[in-house]
Amino acid sequence: MPILIYIERTVDKIMEMDKFLLHYFSLTLLLLLPASLFALDTPTGKIEDDSSLRISLTDSWFHETPGRVLNKKAEYHTLKGGGRIQVRVEASKDEFMIVLARELQGSNSYPGWAQGSWVLTRSRSDGAPTRIRIFPRSDPYVYIQFRPFSLDKCQMDVVLYDGYIVRSLPLPISFERLYTLPVEEALASAGDKFPRKYFEADPDMYRDQRAFVSAVRARLPSLDFRDDGAIDSRGDYVFINTLESQISRIEKGQPPEGLNCSGFAKWVVDGILKPLTGELLPIPPLKEPFGNRGDSFTEPWERARDPFFGLDWCRNLASRAGAVLRSPAFAALEEIEVRRWPFSQVMTRSPDGNRIVSYPGFLENAGFGIEGLHPLLYTLAIDEPNRIYLAAVNTETGDPTTARNPRGLPRLRQYFHIAVLVPYFNEYGNFQVTVFESAAETSFTGETAFTGFKSRYPGHFVNLSRVPVDGKFEP
């Protein structure tokens, strides 16, 4: 599916500075600091104002020549309310940042993304300002950004995990006025177009997800992976395709009993429903077609290639969960399938540079492009607490040409893998996505397991089916 891509004039510079500030210094600190240091963030409207400090820094830091600013040593200031701020400069080849870094919970560390931190970026060549970035939560991937627009206007972006919830919103404030303006006044000028709810998650709302994650983790050591494996309604390990007992067919390199990705997703949903129903779900109904999918072109290939197996499986599981945990009305496709998204652009990162790309959102027979999955899950965690998501990963498959078939096989969209995604905020208010798949909690190279999950499927799509959770889990 073609996606319109454009590269902004300054985006490569932004990536260079972001990579320096966030990945080199801030993210290293994020991984090293114990979780207990991350106190709950305050509501955005109660962040201690630092505009008086910024007024005192305007001439000596914000307007001073690049050479003199780059030679400055870090300064430490204490606000009237007791908050501590380190003022420092960070530089790359073409730009430098003046960072007003808030202290992270009495740790004597100033990572640059602690709640309330304020960062001005300027050009090294002429000192011209290019953007101001504000961190309303203690999260390096959640920020508000202002950019120059005209003599009396600036533009505002709101970015959540590389998804632009707000992009290029004009505000009736000159860019340099932001140097000294209280942050709340700047945000107030955006009116109801500033999505404040995405910065004020209440960790208490996610107790059920945290209990669910802990319960699943505790039971994972008892599980093994086996191709085509699942547990039927009698509690026996069987093969999904034939329903025969796994014990009857021992294969080299395979455990005697186990679950594949589909069987594991069923095990998860069974564990959610069994405390209420006392039963396990039967397998055959989960393989039945559910809702609209495919067309006249794909229909002849359903028996040979079963392209929609993963989609049907997830929808049927979610439908049953919705009916049991909510009401029969919640078994309908429009209730279980995620189809809304609050952003139209995302930033993709690669060694070749950053690109801001248009994001089409939900596509029929595909779902969401994986490049927008992280910001989507963040917004879903805010908008729909107490839910997990069955992710049906899919892409177009089929060899274009082969020696025996020079015309190539038809390229069909194949739903080939299922994962369980749990977006939530931990007890300290930090956003997390836990990934369970194929009888394991996945762990990959990269900053987080979810980062690895995304990098494993570049260019793929994910269809999401929502499943309520209430904290009980007994498979």
List CB contacts of 385: < 8 A, sequence separation 6 or more.
Answer: 205, 206, 209, 424
Instruction: With residue 147 as reference, give the H or E element that holds it.
Output: strand 142-150
C-alpha 123/C-alpha 228 separation (Å) is: 57
Q: Residue ranges of the alpha helices (H) in 4-116?
A: 11-18, 27-32, 51-57, 66-70
Q: Which long-range contacts (CB under 8 A, 24 or more apart) does 175-180 make?
A: 175/129, 175/132, 175/146, 175/147, 175/148, 175/149, 176/129, 178/132, 178/146, 178/154, 179/54, 179/58, 179/62, 179/120, 180/51, 180/54, 180/55, 180/58
Instruction: With residue 382 as reference, give the H or E element that holds it.
Output: helix 373-383
C-alpha 393/C-alpha 87 separation (Å) is: 45
C-alpha 163/C-alpha 171 separation (Å) is: 20
Query: Residue 43 is which amino acid?
Result: P
Q: How confident is the prediction along the chain (475 residues), in pLDDT tens digits per residue? A: 332 222 223 333 333 444 444 443 444 444 444 444 456 789 999 999 999 999 999 999 999 999 999 999 999 999 999 999 999 999 999 999 999 999 998 788 999 999 999 999 999 999 999 999 999 999 999 999 999 999 999 999 999 999 999 999 999 999 999 999 999 999 999 999 999 999 999 999 999 999 999 999 999 999 999 999 999 999 999 999 999 999 988 877 778 899 999 999 999 999 999 999 999 999 999 999 988 876 555 665 666 567 889 999 999 999 999 999 999 999 999 999 999 999 999 998 888 888 999 999 999 989 999 999 999 999 999 999 999 999 999 998 766 566 666 666 666 788 999 999 999 999 999 999 999 999 999 853 345 556 688 888 999 999 999 999 988 999 9
Q: How confident is the model at residue 27, as a pLDDT?
A: 43
Please, are residues 475 and 270 in contact by the beta-carbon 8 Å criterion? yes
C-alpha 375/C-alpha 381 separation (Å) is: 10
- Reference 85, options 55, 50, 134; nearest CA is 50
Please, are residues 87 and 112 in contact by the beta-carbon 8 Å criterion? no
C-alpha 445/C-alpha 435 separation (Å) is: 14
Secondary structure (DSSP) of 93-129: SSEEEEEEEEP-TTSS---S-STT-EEEEEETTT--E
- Residue 365, Cβ neighbours under 10 Å: how many? 17
328: tokens are 């029969």
Query: What are the Cα distances from residue 116, in Å, to 49, 226, 385?
Result: 8, 49, 25
Query: pLDDT (tens digit, 9 = 90+) per residue, 293-346?
Result: 765 556 656 665 678 899 999 999 999 999 999 999 999 999 999 999 999 999
C-alpha 389/C-alpha 423 separation (Å) is: 8
- Phi and psi (nearest 5°) for 346? -135, 160
Query: pLDDT (tens digit, 9 = 90+) per residue, 223-242?
Result: 999 999 999 999 999 999 99
Q: Where are the domains of the chain?
A: 5-199, 203-468
Q: How confident is the model at residue 291, as a pLDDT?
A: 81
- Reference 368, options 457, 263, 298; nearest CA is 457
Q: 191: left (phi > 0), else alpha (psi -120 to 50), else beta?
A: left
Please, are residues 377 and 423 in contact by the beta-carbon 8 Å criterion? yes
List CB contacts of 357: < 8 A, sequence separation 6 or more.
Answer: 3, 4, 5, 6, 345, 346, 347, 348, 371
- Residue 277, Cβ neighbours under 10 Å: how many? 12
- Reference 113, options 53, 51, 27; nearest CA is 27
Give residue 222's Cα distance to chain centre.
29
The packing angle between helices 261-277 and 207-219, to 10°, is: 120
C-alpha 466/C-alpha 6 separation (Å) is: 33
Q: Residue ranges of the alpha helices (H) in 247-349?
A: 261-277, 302-305, 309-325, 333-336
- Reference 118, options 189, 179, 34; nearest CA is 179
How far from each other are the two terminal CA atoms of the chain, in whole angstroms? 39
Q: How confident is the model at residue 2, as a pLDDT?
A: 30
